[in-house]
Amino acid sequence: MQQRKLGPFQVGAISLGCMNLSHAYGVPPSPEQGEALLLKALDLGVTHFDTAALYGFGANETLVGRVLSPHRSRFTLASKCGMTGVNGEGGVKRVIDGRPESLKRTCEEALQRLRTDVIDLYYLHRWDKQVPVEDSVGALADLVREGKIRAIGLSEVSAGTLRRAHAVHPVAALQTEYSLWTRNAEIAVLDACRELGVSFVAFSPIGRGFLAGALSTPADIAAFDAKDIRRAMPRFQGDDFAANLRLLDGYRALAREAGCTPAQLALAWLLGRGEHILPIPGTTSAAHLEENVKAAEVTLSTGLAARLEALIDRRTVAGPRYNAATQAEIDTEEF
C-alpha cells in the first residue's frame, strides 16, 4: 500500500477506524469477529489503527489491546481522550471532560486496556468548551514529556482552535469528518493543516455508509438497529434522505466509469485531495475491509473528479450532518 505521513509516523494510505467494532451502529460484532477483522487488516497492510476511550466505553480499546498488542511493532496506534463514559443513575453516559486531571487519568486507563507502554497518537476527542484548549493540550504535552504518548492530535476543532493548541505544543494530526458529502473541512481546516504541517485524518470518509451506494429506499433506514446513530442524523431522515437518495444513480455511474466500487470512489477522491489527508474508514465486514484497502490503487482523472464534486457537494446534499444538540458540542466551521 502507498504510504503517507501521519505526524512523525509513516502509515498506509488507508487506515482502520475501529469504532464500528464496539460502538455507534447498533449491536457490534462478537469479540471473535472483531478479532478476525483486526488481524485481517494487519495482514492486508493496514498500519494505522484508530480507537478511543469512548467506543464501547472502553470495550474497543480492550479489544484492540488484546488482539493487536502482540503485533505492536507493526502498526501506529491512535486513541482519544476527553469524551468518555461515566457511570450515573441511568447507566453509563457520554461525558465531554477536558480537565487536565481527567485526561491524564483516561490515558492511564487506556494504556492498561491497550496493553502498551505508550500510545503513538493521542487525540483530544472533543474540545471541552468549559476548559481552555491550552490547558487540555498542556496536559497532553505533559504526557508526551512523560513518555506515555508520542504525539498529540485534536478532533472536530476549527482552524482557530488548532492554531491556539499548536502554539502550546505541536499538533501532529487533526481528525474530523470529511467526505464528498461533508465538505466543512474545506472552509479553513484543510488549509490550516497544510500550513502548519499537521496531518488531516478523515473519519466517516464513506459518508457513514451512504457513499457505499447500497442504500436504495427510506425502508433501508427503518431496518437500522434502534441504537444506530444515523437514526438521529438529519441526512438520513425524511425528505432529506429521499433527496440524497436521488444522487446515488449518478454516483454509481461514475464509479462504474472509474472501474471501482462506490466506496472505493469515495476513498480515492479523498486520497486525491492532498498528500496530508488520511482516510480511516471503519467496517465490520472482512469483504468491505479488503475493498476499502484496494481503494489506494484507484486513481481518478481530473475530469471525473470534477464531475464527482459537482454531483455531490454541500449544495446538492440535503440536511446538516448532526442534529442541533450534537452540533453544539463540536467546534468545526460550518457553511
Per-block mean pLDDT, blocks of 10 residues, the chain (335 long): 96 97 94 98 98 97 98 98 90 94 98 98 98 98 98 98 98 98 98 98 97 92 92 95 96 98 98 97 97 98 97 97 95 95
Domain boundaries, the chain: 3-206+269-298
| CATH number, span 3-206+269-298 | 3.20.20.100
Marked catalytic residue, from 25, 55, 123, 322: 55
* Confidence (pTM): 0.97
Residue 77 has which C-alpha cell? 496506534
Integer Cα distance of 202 and 210 in angstroms: 16
Provide the pLDDT for residue 307: 98
Residue 315 has which C-alpha cell? 449544495
Mark whether 55 is an active-site residue.
Answer: yes
Provide the pLDDT for residue 92: 87
- What are the strands, taking DSSP E only, across the chain? 3-6, 9-12, 16-17, 48-50, 76-81, 83-88, 91-96, 119-124, 149-155, 173-177, 199-203, 277-279
With residue 289 as reference, give the H or E element that holds it: helix 286-294
Provide the pLDDT for residue 90: 80
- Characterise 130 by phi-psi region: left (phi > 0), alpha (psi -120 to 50), beta (else): alpha
Over the range 221-252, which residues count as b (16 or more CB within 10 Å of their CB) and which as e?
A: beeeeeebbbeebbbbbeebbeebbebbeebe
Integer Cα distance of 62 and 269 in angstroms: 33
Residues recorded for the chain:
335
Provide the pLDDT for residue 88: 82
Residue 194 has which C-alpha cell? 497544510
